[in-house]
Structure 1
C-alpha cells in the first residue's frame, strides 16, 4: 500500500476500476487461491475440537455453489434478507447473495418481529433467508408483509460442501460482467441498533464498501507498515456481520492475503477469545469495548499477557474504551488503539496504531484518505467542542444519508481538540446525549460518565437530568472491587469519582452527593454489546428510583413527625435569622470564612456563586426550619437581608405584595438609567444621507430570530457588512458558531462570506464591549445600525437580576451607538410581554410610564425598562431608536424549524401525543412564522436607516395579523392525526403534574403561573407595521399544513418519535 495515500482515489484498490465489492473479493481469490482465508471452530480429524481452515478457493467455491442453488429462488427479488447467528457459514451466505447481484439485507437476530416487518417495508425486501433457530421470527414477519417469501435454510453441512466440486453451471448462472453502473448500486443494507425507535436501514454502495474495507489497514500502513495487516496475518473480528464493522472485518484481510478467525459462538466468552488468539497465532483483533474489558480478569490469572503482547494491534470499534482499561493494556505492553466511524460514514478517524506512540492511545486524528472530506464545526453553546461534518462528496458516505441542505452529513458526534491547531481530537459523545435541563442549561453527560467509569469501583453508570433541575447518576459497582471494601470505603471512592466528574463540568451540570444512587448488588444497568448504557432504557427501568431522588431533592426528604423540630418564625430574632442564613449559605456555597458573608448581607447571592441548582439546596435548608417556603424563594429574595426580611414577615407577604415590590424596583431601575442618560448624552444633530449601503452591528445572531435576521441582511444589496457579537470563551471559533446556527436551521451558510460578515466576541459588560479601544473607535465610525436581539430568557429571575445580566450591557451598547452628530439607528427586539397588561387592544405607540402594563415577571419588566429608555432617548436626545415588540414566533414556513424547548411545541407534543388531552383556552393565536418575523424586522431596519428620530412612529408589532383562536390550533392538531380530549386548564395542569416523563413537565411551574395570561390574551394592533412592511399581512395563520412541517422537523430532532 502506498504511504502517499491522501484521498480515496489513491487507495490501492480503486472503486472506479473494480466497480463492485464481490469483484474485488474474486480478484483476491485469484491471487491467493491456495492460502488460508477462513479459520473456524469445529471437530478436527482426530476427534478433538479446534480450529479448522478453508482456503480462498474453498470459500469462493462454496459460495459460488450456494449462489447457483439459490439463483432460481431469489430470481426477481432485488433485496434478500438474512437472519442467522454469526458464523463462517453466515459469511459464505453473504458472498452467495453478492454473487447473485442481490442487495444483502443483514437483519440482527435481536430484532423484534415488529422491527423486522418495519425493515422489510422500508427496504422493499420481499425475500428472507433464515436458519431454523430464527424461523418463527422470520416467518412471523414475512406473514405481515404482502408478497414476502421466507426460506428456512437446512442445516449447513460444511464438511460436505468442502468436498463438492464447482457447479458446472456457474459460468452461465452468475453474471460477472461489472461496469460503472455497479459503483453506486446498493450492495448491502445494515441497520441501526434501534435503541430508541425502529431500526433505520442504511444503504451501502459498492463504492462505500470498497473504500471502507481499506480504511483501517490503510491508516495503520500510513503510520507504520510493520503493524498493518500483511500476507499470512490472521485477524479476529469480535463483531457480528450484521454490524458494519463486522461486515468490513470479514473482507479486509483479503486485501493482503490474510485470514479471518470465526469464533464458535457470539458473543464469545473471554476464554474463547483468548483461545482463538492463541490457536490461530492472531496478529490483529477488532473488538468492541465490552469484550476487551472482559479479558482483564482472565489475563490477571495467571498474568499471562503473551497472546496479546505479540499482536500487532487490538483495534477498538463501536464505542469508546474506558481510559483505565486502555491504560492497563499499554502498561502491560499490549497495543490498543481506537478508530472512529459509524455505519453512515465507515471509518474516518484513527488513533496512533504504532506500538511506540507519539500520542496517547485514545487520541484520534483524521485518516489521510479522509482529510479532504471532513471539517470541524463548533458546537453551539459548547465552547471548545466541535461536531464532525463529512462533506457530501466523500466516497465513504452511505447512500442518501445527507442531513444538511448542502448535501453534507453532520455526524452529531462531539470532539475536543487536544491543543488548538493540532488536529488531534478526543471523542466526547453525541449531541443527542445532551440533556436539556429545566433551567434552560444543557449538560453533556458523556465526559462526566467517562470520568466516573475511570474509577475501578464503577462498572457502569449513566447520568440523567433531561427536563430536571439538576443531574443525577445511577452507578453499578464492580463487585470484584467492591467486595474488598467496607461500605464507607465504597462511598468514599464513589464520592472521589464524582468530584473528578464535576472538576471539568460546568457548575449547572455538577452532581450533588444526594443525587448519586448506587445500585444494590443484585440490580444491574442494561448495556449494549458495545458496552454503552442506553439512557432512555435506564430511565424507564428505574423510574421510581429517579423520581424519588428528585422529589427528595426538590422538597427535601420526608422527616418523620416525631423527629421534626420546628421553631415559630415569630420567635426568631433578626440576628438569629442572619446567623442561620449565613451558615446555610456558607454550607451550600462551600465558603469556609463566614465573616465574608457577614459583610455582604445586601449582595445578591447569585453574584457570590449561587446558581439555580444550588438555590434549590439553599431553599431546602431554609425550609427545614421555616414553614411555607416557596420554590422560587431565592429568586424573589436573592440576598441574605431580603431573605431575613421575608422570613420575619412570613406568610403575611402575598403575591400582590411581591408584584408591587417588583414593579417598584422596575420603576426605580428605569429612572436610574434615565438620569444617567440625561447626563451622558447631549441632544444629537442629525442629517442622514439617503441611498447608501448600511453597516450593521447585530447581537443574538446565533439565536432563532437573530440567525434569520442575519440571513435576510446578507441577502440585501443595501447592506455592506454585518458585525455579529457572539458569546464565546477565548479561543472559540465564533464564525463556526454562526455556521452552526445557519446549518441547524437549514439556512444557506454560503452567505457567511468573510467580506460580508464578521464575528466578534461579545462582552457587553465592558465599557468597550470587550474590544480594544482602537477597534471600538473604528467600529463607531463604521457602523450605521445597531440591532439588539440577544437577551436572557429566564422567567424565574427578578428584574434586579436582569439589570446586572442584560440592562447594564444594553446601556453600554447605547453608549456605543450614540454620537453627537448622526448617532447610529438603534433597534431593540422587545417583547409583547412589556405591554401585556395594557388592555384588550394594544396600540403601536410608546406606553405611558406605568410598570404595571408589563407582565408580572422579570423578563417583561426588563423589556419595559429598555423600551422607555429608548423612548426617552428618541424624544429627549434626538437619538433614532426603534422598538420591535416581538410576539410568539413559530417555525419557519420552509423547513418548519421550531425550537423543541419552547412552551408551545412542548405543549403540543406532550398534550396531543402523550397525555392525550389539551387545555381549553379562549386566547387568540397570533403566532408568526420565524421567517416572516425576521424579514419584517429586517425591512424596518433597512427602510428607516435615513430617518430622523420620531418616537411615536418608531414602535412596531411583530405579531401575526391573521389571528386564529385556540380552538383552531386544536383542530389543526386533530387534522394531523392526534387524538385527545379537551379539558379545563386546572385538570390539564393536574394531569401534567403526575407525568414527569413527558417534555411539558419541565415547564409545569410556568404553566401553573402563566395560564391565566394565556387564557385571555389581548390583541396587538399591526396596521402601522403592515403599512411599513406589507409582506407581514400575507403571513399564514397557524394551520394543519404548517403543523405538519413542525412535526416533521421535531421528528428529525428526535422530539416526537
Structure 2
C-alpha cells in the first residue's frame, strides 16, 4: 500500500489550502456546483477563498462559546452547495461539525446533540421552528443560522482566526475532524467520530481504487451522510480531482428522474452516483418514456454507481443490457469504503463484492458458507466508535455469502441484527417504535367486549405516536397494519426472553405482508368517504376535491394551492402512497410518482390530471407565444458573424466528410455507404465522448450492434473525434479544428437531442451546433455542401388542419398548429429556416432531409429491442390480443435505405428540385403484413377493438407488471399511435427523382418482417 500523504498541519481540512497554493493545482477545477440553475466551476484556489469567508463568519458568531473542553458543533441543513461551505468553514476554524440528518425525529436529534455535548447548532432557515423546539429541550444551546455563500464576493482570501488553537501535527492527527451518526441497533442513532488520521487514511484508500481521476462524475448522495461527505468532499480533496454536485433544489424537494436525464444530456457525464431508490425510479422512468427521452440519453454514461443497498437482480441485468456498468460500493459510516464490486453480466451474482486494498478484516463464521464481516480494530480507516467487541474489533452486522476465492468474492445476504435496510439504503431501527406500540395494554377480555372499531382506533392512535419516533422514510400508514385475530393459530414468534424472531416472523406472515403491500399499491384508504363533489360540479372541481381529500390521508397539515407537497412533509414513500390513492379514486388515471415530483402543488397536479384524462399534456403557451419565440430564435441565429468569401468550386473528388450522430443508426449506415465510395478520402465521425478513444469505442460498438462490417482499408478513412458541437471550434483543439478546415467538402448534421416534452430553449445547444457546423463549410477552401437531417415533425406546426399534403419545399415560419409546437419540432423548423438564410448569404449548397419513422435495416433485420414496435410485439405475445388496426397505414423506412438516400442527395449541388427531401417510404402498406407475419411465426392472439386493447392494458392486473409486460409502461404511446387522427401526406415526387434509394424503397413485406422477428428472438426479446 502506497504511503499516505498527510497535510503539513495534520488537519485534513488544510489540504484545501495546500492544493490552492500549489502551482500545479491552484487553477484546476475542484468542484462544480449549481446554486441557481446554472453550473459554476470553482478551482482549488477559489474554493479556498470561499471557505475562508465561511470560516470568518463562524469565528465571528461562535467566538463567545467555550470550546476548551469540547469542540463539537451540530450542523442541521439540507444537502446543497451551501452545506459544503458551512461544513468546511466549521472545520477550518478548528471545531468538529456533527452532520445531523434532517430526516431524524426531534428526539433523535436532541439525543445526538446531548451525547456529543454540542454547544452550538448551526441550522438552515427552513429548520428554524425545529431548531427552536430543540432549544426548549436544550436551553443552553446556541442557535446560529447557516452561512449563505456569495461566490462572486468571495473572490479573495479572507483573514480569520481559529476558535481552538492549533496543536502539533501528531496531536492534530488524533483530533476529531468531523462527526457522523448512524442508526445502529440501539434506541437512538450513535455517534461516529472521524479523526484527522482515519480521514487521511480513508481518502488514501479510496484513491487506490480510483481507476481514472479524469472521469466526469455527478453526485446525488446527500451531504449529511457519510457517502456524500466522503465521496464528494473529502476524497476529491485528497486526490485533487474534480467532482460535480447535483443542482441545489428547494428544501424538501427531491431530484426527479427527468432532472437526472437532463443533467446527463447537458454535462456529458461518464458516471452518476445515486441511492438505489433513485436508480430504480430512473430505470422505471426510462422504461416508460420514449427511448429518445430516456434510454438513449442514459446510455451515454458509462457507469451507475450506487451504495447503501442492493438493486434487484432484474434491474442490474437491465442496466447491463443497455451498455451501462452497474457499480455497487459497500461502505460504512464507521469505516468509509470497505468493499468494491466486480461487475460481470455473465456471473450468477452480477456485482459480487470484494474487500478494498488494505482493509483489515475477518469473516465470522455463521455456517452454510455465510460470514459476518468484522473490521479489525487496527484498521487505519476505522472511526472512533464505542461499540467494539471484546477483541476491540467492529462488527458490521452485515452477512455475506462467500461465492469465490482469489480474490475473495462476496454476495450480500442480510443484516444480522434488528436494523431494517430499506431499498433506498436508509436504515431504520424498529425497536423504539415497537416499544411504543407494545406499551398499549389490551387484555383479551376487554377486547372481546369492546366495539371492534374502538379497538382499531386505539391501536391506530398508538401507531401514530410510534411514528413520532421514526424517521420519515419508516412511518407506518393505516393500510400497512395487519390485525391478527385472537383465535388465529398464527402467533408472533418470540424467544424465551420475549425478543421477536424476525426472520421466522417474515416467513410465517409472508402472505399477510403481501396483502398489506397490495392494499397500499391499490390505493386502499381506511376511510372511503367521498372527497368528491356533486354531479353538478365541473370536472376540474371534482379532481381538485379528490386531490385534496387524498392529501389529507397523506399529510398532517392543510395545504393551499401554491404549497409544495415535498416541503410540507411528503417523501418518496408517502408520494407513492399518494399516487396509489389517487389512482384508486380516479378511474383510468395514468400517474407516475415522478409526475407528482414534477407537479408538486394542488394547482399543478389538478391541471396535469385534467389534461392526462383528456390524453393531452398541459399547454400553457398560446400560438402567439410560440410565434414570438420562433421569430426571436431565427433573428438570433441568422447572422453567422463571418465575412463573405470569394467564389469557391464544388468538390469533385477527394471528399472530406464530417458527420454528427455518427454512432446512431442513421449515422452508422451513412458511414458504411460513404467509406465504400472511391471519392471519399476521409470521414470525421463527430461523437459526444470524453476523448477520441471513447469516441472510437462508441462507433465500433454501433457498427457491431448493426452488423456493419468495414474492411481495414476503408476503416482507415474514418477519424472518430470527441466533440462538443455547441462550443466554439466544436470543442476541438485549435490544431485539430484547423486541420479539418482546408479540405472539408461535406457536412452531415445528423445528431440531435430527442425530447418531445421540452420547450425550444432546451434545444439551444443543438441550434448553436448547426451554426458551428455551417461555419465549417464557410471556412473551408471548397464550396462545401451542408446537409441538415431534420424531421417530418418540422412540417406539423406550420400545417393547417385542412391541408391534405405537404410539398418538398421551404416552409413558412407562420405557426398554425399550437398542439404540435413542441421544442423538438420548433428547433428543427428554426434550423431549417436559418440554414437556408446562411445558404443564400454565403453561397453554401444546403440540403434539408426531413426524416420519418425509421425501422430496422433490410439486410440483417437489426432493430433495437428497446424501441416501441419490438416491445409492442413482445406485449402481443404475452397478452394474446392485437388491436384492430389492420387497415391502418404504415410508412416505415428501413434505416439503411434512409441512410443511403441522405448520402445520395447530400452529394449533389442543390437546386430548386432537390433543396428539401422527404426521407420517408413512398409506398403505403398496412398492419395486415405485421399481423400475418406474427401469426406465421406462431404467435397466438385474437383481434380486439383498439379501445378494448388499451382498456385491457390499463386495467387488467395480469398485464400491468412491467417486469413481464413492457407495454405496461407504454400506454401513452399507444394512446397516441392508435387513437390519433391520421396526419397529412408528405409528398415524395421530387425526392424520388433525386434518390434511387427512395424511388426503390421496399415496402414492408412478409420476408422483411420475418427478419425483424428473427432478430428480436435472437436477442431474447421473446422465446
TM-score by length of 1: 0.44
Larger Rg computed on CA atoms: 1
